[in-house]
Copies of this chain bind each other. A is one copy, B any other.
Protein backbone atom coordinates (compact mmCIF):
# COMPACT_ATOMS: atom_id res chain seq x y z
CA UNK A 1 0.00 0.00 0.00
CA UNK A 2 2.84 2.41 0.66
CA UNK A 3 4.14 2.19 -2.87
CA UNK A 4 0.55 2.48 -4.05
CA UNK A 5 -0.06 5.56 -1.92
CA UNK A 6 2.91 7.30 -3.47
CA UNK A 7 1.34 6.70 -6.88
CA UNK A 8 -2.07 7.95 -5.82
CA UNK A 9 -0.91 11.19 -4.17
CA UNK A 10 -1.28 14.50 -5.97
CA UNK A 11 1.82 16.40 -7.10
CA UNK A 12 0.44 19.23 -5.01
CA UNK A 13 0.66 17.44 -1.68
CA UNK A 14 4.13 16.15 -2.49
CA UNK A 15 5.15 19.82 -2.94
CA UNK A 16 3.67 20.89 0.40
CA UNK A 17 6.11 20.87 3.32
CA UNK A 18 4.77 19.80 6.73
CA UNK A 19 5.05 22.68 9.18
CA UNK A 20 8.25 22.49 11.20
CA UNK A 21 6.51 24.20 14.09
CA UNK A 22 3.62 21.79 14.20
CA UNK A 23 5.87 18.77 13.82
CA UNK A 24 7.82 19.78 16.93
CA UNK A 25 4.68 20.80 18.84
CA UNK A 26 4.57 17.46 20.61
CA UNK A 27 8.20 17.70 21.72
CA UNK A 28 7.82 21.33 22.69
CA UNK A 29 4.68 20.62 24.71
CA UNK A 30 6.74 18.49 27.11
CA UNK A 31 6.35 20.62 30.26
CA UNK A 32 10.04 20.22 31.10
CA UNK A 33 11.00 22.02 27.90
CA UNK A 34 11.13 25.81 27.77
CA UNK A 35 9.69 26.58 24.37
CA UNK A 36 10.12 29.81 22.46
CA UNK A 37 9.16 27.84 19.35
CA UNK A 38 5.40 28.29 19.20
CA UNK A 39 3.41 31.32 18.25
CA UNK A 40 0.92 30.95 21.08
CA UNK A 41 -0.78 34.04 22.49
CA UNK A 42 -0.65 34.33 26.26
CA UNK A 43 -3.89 32.92 27.74
CA UNK A 44 -4.39 36.33 29.35
CA UNK A 45 -5.56 37.41 25.89
CA UNK A 46 -8.58 35.07 26.12
CA UNK A 47 -11.43 36.91 27.90
CA UNK A 48 -12.84 33.64 29.24
CA UNK A 49 -15.30 34.96 31.80
CA UNK A 50 -16.69 37.53 29.39
CA UNK A 51 -16.99 34.89 26.67
CA UNK A 52 -18.93 32.62 29.03
CA UNK A 53 -21.34 35.48 29.76
CA UNK A 54 -21.73 36.02 26.01
CA UNK A 55 -22.38 32.31 25.43
CA UNK A 56 -25.28 32.33 27.85
CA UNK A 57 -26.67 35.52 26.34
CA UNK A 58 -26.50 34.37 22.71
CA UNK A 59 -28.04 30.95 23.40
CA UNK A 60 -30.95 32.68 25.16
CA UNK A 61 -31.27 35.38 22.48
CA UNK A 62 -30.61 33.67 19.15
CA UNK A 63 -31.40 30.03 19.93
CA UNK A 64 -31.22 27.66 16.98
CA UNK A 65 -29.60 30.21 14.61
CA UNK A 66 -26.34 29.56 16.50
CA UNK A 67 -26.43 25.87 15.66
CA UNK A 68 -27.90 25.77 12.13
CA UNK A 69 -26.12 25.97 8.75
CA UNK A 70 -25.36 29.55 7.79
CA UNK A 71 -24.21 31.73 4.90
CA UNK A 72 -20.73 31.42 3.40
CA UNK A 73 -19.61 35.05 3.70
CA UNK A 74 -20.18 35.08 7.44
CA UNK A 75 -22.47 36.62 10.07
CA UNK A 76 -23.65 40.02 8.75
CA UNK A 77 -23.51 41.60 12.23
CA UNK A 78 -19.87 40.59 12.71
CA UNK A 79 -18.95 41.77 9.20
CA UNK A 80 -20.64 45.12 9.93
CA UNK A 81 -18.70 45.44 13.19
CA UNK A 82 -15.42 44.80 11.34
CA UNK A 83 -16.32 47.28 8.58
CA UNK A 84 -17.21 49.97 11.13
CA UNK A 85 -14.04 49.42 13.14
CA UNK A 86 -11.73 49.61 10.13
CA UNK A 87 -13.58 52.63 8.73
CA UNK A 88 -13.21 54.43 12.02
CA UNK A 89 -9.59 53.47 12.74
CA UNK A 90 -8.17 53.71 9.22
CA UNK A 91 -10.55 55.99 7.33
CA UNK A 92 -11.59 53.17 5.00
CA UNK A 93 -15.00 53.01 3.30
CA UNK A 94 -16.05 49.44 3.81
CA UNK A 95 -19.48 47.81 3.83
CA UNK A 96 -20.27 44.23 4.77
CA UNK A 97 -19.83 43.28 1.10
CA UNK A 98 -16.11 43.99 1.53
CA UNK A 99 -15.73 41.49 4.38
CA UNK A 100 -15.60 37.69 4.21
CA UNK A 101 -15.18 35.64 7.39
CA UNK A 102 -12.63 32.82 7.19
CA UNK A 103 -11.79 29.81 9.35
CA UNK A 104 -8.76 31.60 10.75
CA UNK A 105 -6.31 33.60 8.63
CA UNK A 106 -4.71 30.35 7.55
CA UNK A 107 -7.83 29.62 5.52
CA UNK A 108 -7.59 33.06 3.92
CA UNK A 109 -4.09 32.15 2.69
CA UNK A 110 -5.39 28.87 1.29
CA UNK A 111 -8.43 30.43 -0.41
CA UNK A 112 -6.49 33.31 -1.97
CA UNK A 113 -3.99 30.94 -3.53
CA UNK A 114 -6.75 28.52 -4.53
CA UNK A 115 -8.53 31.28 -6.43
CA UNK A 116 -5.48 32.92 -8.01
CA UNK A 117 -2.70 30.39 -8.58
CA UNK A 118 -2.07 28.06 -11.45
CA UNK A 119 1.00 25.86 -11.21
CA UNK A 120 4.07 27.94 -12.02
CA UNK A 121 2.47 31.34 -11.38
CA UNK A 122 4.61 33.82 -9.49
CA UNK A 123 4.19 34.80 -5.85
CA UNK A 124 6.40 37.44 -4.24
CA UNK A 125 7.13 36.80 -0.57
CA UNK A 126 9.34 38.44 2.01
CA UNK A 127 12.71 36.82 2.66
CA UNK A 128 12.17 35.40 5.25
CA UNK A 129 8.38 34.91 5.26
CA UNK A 130 5.74 33.29 7.46
CA UNK A 131 6.11 29.51 7.15
CA UNK A 132 2.35 28.89 7.30
CA UNK A 133 1.93 31.12 4.26
CA UNK A 134 4.72 29.37 2.39
CA UNK A 135 3.00 26.10 3.22
CA UNK A 136 -0.44 27.31 2.06
CA UNK A 137 0.91 28.72 -1.21
CA UNK A 138 3.08 25.64 -1.87
CA UNK A 139 -0.06 23.56 -2.22
CA UNK A 140 -0.65 25.31 -5.53
CA UNK A 141 2.93 24.87 -6.80
CA UNK A 142 3.79 28.50 -7.61
CA UNK A 143 7.19 29.96 -8.38
CA UNK A 144 8.30 31.92 -5.34
CA UNK A 145 10.18 35.21 -5.74
CA UNK A 146 11.57 36.13 -2.31
CA UNK A 147 12.39 39.80 -1.74
CA UNK A 148 14.85 40.70 1.00
CA UNK A 149 13.28 42.14 4.13
CA UNK A 150 15.41 44.90 5.68
CA UNK A 151 15.10 46.88 8.94
CA UNK A 152 12.89 49.39 7.09
CA UNK A 153 10.84 47.01 4.94
CA UNK A 154 11.13 45.42 1.49
CA UNK A 155 14.31 45.94 -0.51
CA UNK A 156 12.84 48.10 -3.31
CA UNK A 157 15.38 47.11 -5.95
CA UNK A 158 14.73 43.43 -5.31
CA UNK A 159 11.00 44.09 -5.46
CA UNK A 160 11.29 45.78 -8.84
CA UNK A 161 13.38 42.90 -10.15
CA UNK A 162 10.91 40.32 -8.83
CA UNK A 163 8.05 42.14 -10.56
CA UNK A 164 9.67 41.43 -13.93
CA UNK A 165 8.28 37.92 -13.55
CA UNK A 166 4.74 36.71 -14.18
CA UNK A 167 3.41 37.42 -10.69
CA UNK A 168 -0.16 36.95 -9.39
CA UNK A 169 0.24 38.44 -5.92
CA UNK A 170 2.67 39.73 -3.34
CA UNK A 171 2.38 38.59 0.27
CA UNK A 172 3.50 40.94 3.05
CA UNK A 173 3.23 41.33 6.83
CA UNK A 174 4.10 45.02 7.25
CA UNK A 175 3.64 45.21 11.05
CA UNK A 176 5.84 43.11 13.41
CA UNK A 177 6.47 40.60 10.71
CA UNK A 178 6.47 36.87 11.37
CA UNK A 179 9.20 35.67 11.79
CA UNK A 180 11.42 38.76 12.10
CA UNK A 181 9.40 41.16 14.24
CA UNK A 182 10.33 43.94 11.74
CA UNK A 183 7.97 46.75 10.69
CA UNK A 184 7.97 48.50 7.29
CA UNK A 185 8.69 52.25 7.57
CA UNK A 186 6.12 54.80 6.32
CA UNK A 187 8.48 55.70 3.48
CA UNK A 188 8.93 52.08 2.46
CA UNK A 189 5.15 51.60 2.40
CA UNK A 190 4.76 54.61 0.12
CA UNK A 191 7.45 53.36 -2.25
CA UNK A 192 5.77 49.97 -2.48
CA UNK A 193 2.38 51.60 -3.08
CA UNK A 194 3.79 53.77 -5.89
CA UNK A 195 5.27 50.72 -7.58
CA UNK A 196 2.22 48.48 -7.16
CA UNK A 197 -0.35 50.99 -8.38
CA UNK A 198 1.14 50.52 -11.84
CA UNK A 199 0.91 46.73 -11.61
CA UNK A 200 -1.92 44.35 -12.37
CA UNK A 201 -1.33 42.09 -9.38
CA UNK A 202 -2.90 41.67 -5.96
CA UNK A 203 -1.28 42.89 -2.77
CA UNK A 204 -1.97 40.74 0.30
CA UNK A 205 -1.31 42.61 3.56
CA UNK A 206 -1.52 40.15 6.43
CA UNK A 207 -2.16 42.04 9.66
CA UNK A 208 -2.63 39.70 12.61
CA UNK A 209 -0.49 41.75 14.99
CA UNK A 210 -1.26 45.42 14.15
CA UNK A 211 -3.25 45.93 17.36
CA UNK A 212 -0.33 44.63 19.41
CA UNK A 213 1.94 47.66 18.92
CA UNK A 214 3.69 48.63 22.15
CA UNK A 215 6.08 51.22 20.77
CA UNK A 216 5.63 54.06 18.24
CA UNK A 217 2.64 55.12 16.16
CA UNK A 218 0.53 52.89 13.95
CA UNK A 219 1.42 53.38 10.28
CA UNK A 220 -1.05 53.37 7.37
CA UNK A 221 -1.59 50.25 5.29
CA UNK A 222 0.29 49.96 2.01
CA UNK A 223 -2.71 49.17 -0.13
CA UNK A 224 -5.92 49.08 1.90
CA UNK A 225 -8.10 52.06 0.99
CA UNK A 226 -5.96 53.11 -1.96
CA UNK A 227 -5.15 50.12 -4.16
CA UNK A 228 -8.17 48.54 -5.91
CA UNK A 229 -6.39 45.20 -5.88
CA UNK A 230 -5.69 45.25 -2.14
CA UNK A 231 -6.45 42.27 0.07
CA UNK A 232 -6.18 42.89 3.81
CA UNK A 233 -6.24 40.01 6.30
CA UNK A 234 -7.32 40.29 9.92
CA UNK A 235 -8.05 37.88 12.76
CA UNK A 236 -9.41 37.60 16.28
CA UNK A 237 -6.79 34.96 17.07
CA UNK A 238 -4.32 37.27 18.83
CA UNK A 239 -6.82 39.41 20.73
CA UNK A 240 -9.80 37.16 21.59
CA UNK A 241 -9.15 33.47 20.85
CA UNK A 242 -7.19 31.49 18.24
CA UNK A 243 -8.96 28.23 19.19
CA UNK A 244 -12.17 29.39 17.54
CA UNK A 245 -10.50 29.97 14.16
CA UNK A 246 -12.11 33.26 13.19
CA UNK A 247 -10.34 35.49 10.71
CA UNK A 248 -11.44 37.73 7.87
CA UNK A 249 -10.57 39.00 4.41
CA UNK A 250 -11.14 42.67 3.56
CA UNK A 251 -11.14 43.78 -0.06
CA UNK A 252 -12.71 46.53 -2.12
CA UNK A 253 -12.64 44.08 -5.03
CA UNK A 254 -16.04 42.50 -4.45
CA UNK A 255 -15.72 40.47 -7.68
CA UNK A 256 -12.67 38.73 -6.23
CA UNK A 257 -14.55 38.13 -2.97
CA UNK A 258 -17.31 36.37 -4.92
CA UNK A 259 -14.79 33.87 -6.28
CA UNK A 260 -13.23 33.47 -2.85
CA UNK A 261 -16.71 32.79 -1.53
CA UNK A 262 -17.23 29.98 -4.07
CA UNK A 263 -13.89 28.49 -3.02
CA UNK A 264 -14.87 28.77 0.65
CA UNK A 265 -18.25 27.15 -0.01
CA UNK A 266 -16.43 24.22 -1.65
CA UNK A 267 -13.87 24.10 1.18
CA UNK A 268 -15.98 24.18 4.37
CA UNK A 269 -19.39 25.76 3.51
CA UNK A 270 -19.01 28.48 6.15
CA UNK A 271 -17.08 29.32 9.31
CA UNK A 272 -18.44 28.08 12.65
CA UNK A 273 -21.49 30.31 13.15
CA UNK A 274 -21.69 29.87 16.92
CA UNK A 275 -18.19 31.34 17.26
CA UNK A 276 -19.08 34.23 14.96
CA UNK A 277 -22.09 35.13 17.12
CA UNK A 278 -19.98 34.70 20.23
CA UNK A 279 -17.15 36.97 19.13
CA UNK A 280 -19.60 39.57 17.82
CA UNK A 281 -21.53 39.57 21.11
CA UNK A 282 -18.30 39.82 23.08
CA UNK A 283 -17.17 42.80 21.00
CA UNK A 284 -20.53 44.56 21.37
CA UNK A 285 -20.69 44.16 25.16
CA UNK A 286 -17.12 44.75 26.27
CA UNK A 287 -14.37 47.35 25.97
CA UNK A 288 -12.31 45.58 23.29
CA UNK A 289 -9.67 48.30 23.11
CA UNK A 290 -9.11 48.22 26.87
CA UNK A 291 -8.67 44.45 26.61
CA UNK A 292 -6.14 44.85 23.80
CA UNK A 293 -4.27 47.48 25.83
CA UNK A 294 -3.76 44.91 28.59
CA UNK A 295 -2.34 42.34 26.18
CA UNK A 296 -0.06 44.97 24.67
CA UNK A 297 1.31 45.95 28.06
CA UNK A 298 2.06 42.36 28.97
CA UNK A 299 3.80 41.64 25.67
CA UNK A 300 5.89 44.80 25.97
CA UNK A 301 7.13 43.66 29.37
CA UNK A 302 7.91 40.17 28.10
CA UNK A 303 9.65 41.41 24.95
CA UNK A 304 11.77 43.79 27.03
CA UNK A 305 12.57 40.99 29.43
CA UNK A 306 13.74 38.74 26.62
CA UNK A 307 15.88 41.48 25.07
CA UNK A 308 17.47 42.28 28.44
CA UNK A 309 18.21 38.58 28.98
CA UNK A 310 19.78 38.33 25.53
CA UNK A 311 22.00 41.30 26.30
CA UNK A 312 23.03 39.51 29.46
CA UNK A 313 23.56 35.96 28.23
CA UNK A 314 24.21 35.98 24.45
CA UNK A 315 27.68 36.38 22.91
CA UNK A 316 28.14 39.88 21.46
CA UNK A 317 28.45 38.51 17.94
CA UNK A 318 24.83 37.38 18.03
CA UNK A 319 22.36 39.99 16.69
CA UNK A 320 18.63 40.29 17.15
CA UNK A 321 15.75 42.52 16.07
CA UNK A 322 13.98 44.88 18.51
CA UNK A 323 10.26 44.60 17.68
CA UNK A 324 7.80 47.44 18.28
CA UNK A 325 4.95 45.02 18.75
CA UNK A 326 3.73 41.54 17.92
CA UNK A 327 5.00 38.25 19.24
CA UNK A 328 8.46 37.47 17.82
CA UNK A 329 12.16 38.28 17.86
CA UNK A 330 14.58 37.25 15.12
CA UNK A 331 18.09 36.19 16.03
CA UNK A 332 21.02 36.21 13.61
CA UNK A 333 24.04 34.11 14.54
CA UNK A 334 27.53 34.71 13.13
CA UNK A 335 27.95 33.57 9.50
CA UNK A 336 28.38 29.84 9.11
CA UNK A 337 26.62 28.85 12.33
CA UNK A 338 23.61 26.68 11.50
CA UNK A 339 20.63 27.24 13.81
CA UNK A 340 19.21 23.93 12.62
CA UNK A 341 22.25 22.03 13.89
CA UNK A 342 21.91 23.92 17.17
CA UNK A 343 18.32 22.73 17.54
CA UNK A 344 18.89 19.12 18.77
CA UNK A 345 21.54 20.36 21.21
CA UNK A 346 19.07 22.91 22.54
CA UNK A 347 16.43 20.22 22.98
CA UNK A 348 18.92 18.23 25.07
CA UNK A 349 19.15 21.29 27.32
CA UNK A 350 15.34 21.42 27.27
CA UNK A 351 15.02 24.60 25.30
CA UNK A 352 13.19 24.96 21.95
CA UNK A 353 13.11 27.62 19.20
CA UNK A 354 12.36 27.62 15.48
CA UNK A 355 15.46 27.48 13.24
CA UNK A 356 15.18 29.97 10.39
CA UNK A 357 15.21 27.49 7.48
CA UNK A 358 11.44 26.88 7.09
CA UNK A 359 10.88 30.64 6.73
CA UNK A 360 12.98 30.69 3.56
CA UNK A 361 12.34 29.16 0.17
CA UNK A 362 14.78 26.31 -0.36
CA UNK A 363 17.52 27.46 2.01
CA UNK A 364 19.36 25.16 4.42
CA UNK A 365 21.41 25.69 7.56
CA UNK A 366 20.77 29.42 7.80
CA UNK A 367 22.24 31.28 10.75
CA UNK A 368 18.86 32.58 11.95
CA UNK A 369 16.17 31.58 14.44
CA UNK A 370 12.78 32.82 15.63
CA UNK A 371 11.98 33.30 19.30
CA UNK A 372 8.48 33.85 20.71
CA UNK A 373 8.13 35.86 23.92
CA UNK A 374 4.37 36.00 24.47
CA UNK A 375 3.73 32.67 26.14
CA UNK A 376 6.31 32.44 28.96
CA UNK A 377 6.66 34.30 32.24
CA UNK A 378 9.68 36.42 33.09
CA UNK A 379 11.42 33.73 35.11
CA UNK A 380 11.04 31.19 32.32
CA UNK A 381 12.27 33.68 29.74
CA UNK A 382 15.35 34.39 31.85
CA UNK A 383 16.10 30.70 32.38
CA UNK A 384 15.52 29.82 28.71
CA UNK A 385 17.66 32.62 27.30
CA UNK A 386 20.35 31.76 29.83
CA UNK A 387 20.48 28.14 28.63
CA UNK A 388 20.44 29.22 25.00
CA UNK A 389 23.20 31.75 25.66
CA UNK A 390 25.40 29.08 27.23
CA UNK A 391 24.92 26.87 24.19
CA UNK A 392 25.72 29.72 21.82
CA UNK A 393 28.87 30.55 23.73
CA UNK A 394 29.99 26.92 23.45
CA UNK A 395 29.31 26.96 19.73
CA UNK A 396 30.72 30.34 18.83
CA UNK A 397 33.80 30.54 21.00
Contacts and interface: CB of A to CB of B under 8 A. Distances in A.
Interface of A: 1-2, 4-5, 7-13, 16, 18-19, 22, 25, 38-41, 43, 46, 48, 51-52, 55-56, 59, 63-72, 103-104, 106-107, 110, 114-118, 121, 132, 135-136, 138-140, 168, 200-202, 228-229, 237, 241-245, 253, 255-256, 259, 262-263, 265-275
B52 A267 contact: no
A16 B263 contact: yes
Given A106-B269, A262-B16, A8 B55 contact: no
Nearest to A277: B243
11 contacts: A5-B255, A9-B259, A13-B259, A40-B69, A48-B63, A52-B56, A67-B243, A103-B245, A136-B267, A241-B274, A243-B273
B25 A71 contact: yes
A271 B103 CA distance: 8
A274 B243 contact: yes
Contact of A9 (B66, B116, B136, B138): B116
Nearest to A271: B245
A79 to B, nearest CB: 15
Question: Copies per complex?
Answer: 2
Given A16-B266, A63-B48, A268-B107, A243 B114 contact: no
A226 B315 CA distance: 60
Nearest to A255: B5
A135 B72 CA distance: 14
Nearest to A245: B272
Nearest to A140: B10
B18 A43 contact: no
Contacts of A121: 10
A243 B70 contact: yes
Given A7-B200, A9-B116, A274-B275, A18 B268 contact: no
A114 B139 contact: yes
Contacts of A66: 48, 243
A41 B13 CA distance: 35
A379 to B, nearest CB: 19
Nearest to A242: B69
A25 B72 CA distance: 10
A3 to B, nearest CB: 9
Nearest to A240: B67
B272 A1 contact: no
A268 B136 CA distance: 9
Contacts of A267: 106-107, 110, 136, 267
